[in-house]
Amino acid sequence: MKKIIFLLFILPFICTAESTEMSIASAVDMALKNNIDLKNSNLTLNNQKLSSATSWNSILPDIKLSGSVTENLRSGAYGVSVGASASVSVNANLATDIVQSVLDYRNGKITYNEAKNALVRDVRKYYYNLVVLSQKVRLQADKLETLKKREEMAQKKFDSGTISEIDRLNAVINYKTGEYELKKLNNEFAKAMLNFKYVIGTDTEAELVLTDELPELKSESLENLKLDIDKNTDVLQAYYDLRSAQNNRAAIIGSAAPSFSLGYSVSGENVNLDNGNVSLSVSLPLQWALPFSNTQVSVIQNENNIKIKQNSLAGAKRKAQIEFDGLVMTIKEIKNDMDSLVMSRDAAKSSYELVRRLYDNGSKDYLELKDSENTLFETEINILNAKYEFISSVLDLDYLMGSES
């Protein structure tokens, strides 16, 4: 009967296509291959890598070829002229541009790794949430089976005159409410499954069978666990933001340095490279020396920006440490409270069995039985919620520490 009730409510939310077994490892692998956001992040990183590897190309010469054809309208004679020119410009900002492209690439790697680790964490959270929801569905299905039997028994007792019509109606109401709760849980499971399929990049019509269960709750290694602040993603990004601001200061100062340009050009009807022209020019900007010039203002603003980035870096470190301490505290609390939750569940189960026997003997009314039954159900749900919160906090802790999930 239990299996029948469970299937009646779960079947409308699963596809009739051939099912695919899905473990956590296979879900993570599929997400890393198929997730659209991660693909886009990787393409962005490739662009930054290319820019970094070719940032020196600004020193390549600017080469131009030209040609012209002329006709004398009086004589009808034609003339052909060709020319070529090449020039190279060098200034102090060449170095800062190269440094900035390298910083952008390193920051891009951090962003990509963050997206990757966040995806792995989220896939695991989605997976374990589905496991918890499926167990909640089974618990509700078990409860509904009991409620169905109680409704049938209440009808028989009412027909024999041993219970009142109110008790019979309460049994009917509780069964119908149980049906509604099971449908609502199945809807929640179906929506969560759709989100899971989107994240891992599989067809929404595919039927997935989850093969992994909730892991054991372990936190023994937390005592000696310490956060390496410098490996935290937010801290690393704040660090490279600071480096970029410092490099921008060098670029502003470099804009006041002289720039050099070396060029060569040749043209004519009969081109001879020996008859070409070589030019060397030097440009020395002096606008920076004027009071309140854009350069002077930019230097002052950049110094303030550097201080802002320094404060942001310090704030990122403090925030990461606070998040780390909070997660460790949460994990320890859940682990310590789990024994109490299990004891509460066992006590509720014993109480329910006692009240049920007394109800069958007529010593307890239906409302007392219902309260006892709801208490047992709530303790089961509390344990499942605590397990998921524990697992979710552990995954958040791994992500915070910057480790590969």
Q: What are 121-161's pLDDT values in tens digits? A: 999 999 999 999 999 999 999 999 989 988 998 898 888 88
User: Which pLDDT score is estimated for 8?
Assistant: 40
Across the range 308-333, mean pLDDT stands at 94
Average pLDDT of the chain, as a whole number:
86
Across the range 278-302, mean pLDDT stands at 86
Question: Is 6 a residue whose pLDDT tops 50?
Answer: no
Total residues belonging to the chain = 405
User: Which pLDDT score is estimated for 7?
Assistant: 44
User: Which pLDDT score is estimated for 254?
Assistant: 85
Q: What are 24-62's pLDDT values in tens digits? A: 999 999 999 999 989 999 999 999 999 999 888 888 888
User: Which pLDDT score is estimated for 17?
Assistant: 52
Q: Give the percent of the chain with pLDDT over 90.
A: 48
Residue 220 — pLDDT band, cuts 50, 70, 90? low
* pTM attached to this predicted model: 0.79
Judge whether 93 and 254 are in contact, CB under 8 Å.
Answer: yes
Structure tokens at 385: 């919620």
What's at 111, amino acid-wise? Answer: T
User: Which pLDDT score is estimated for 287?
Assistant: 79
Across the range 206-225, mean pLDDT stands at 81
User: Which pLDDT score is estimated for 219?
Assistant: 58
- Can you tell me which residue has the tokens 């002329």? 70
User: Which pLDDT score is estimated for 339?
Assistant: 87
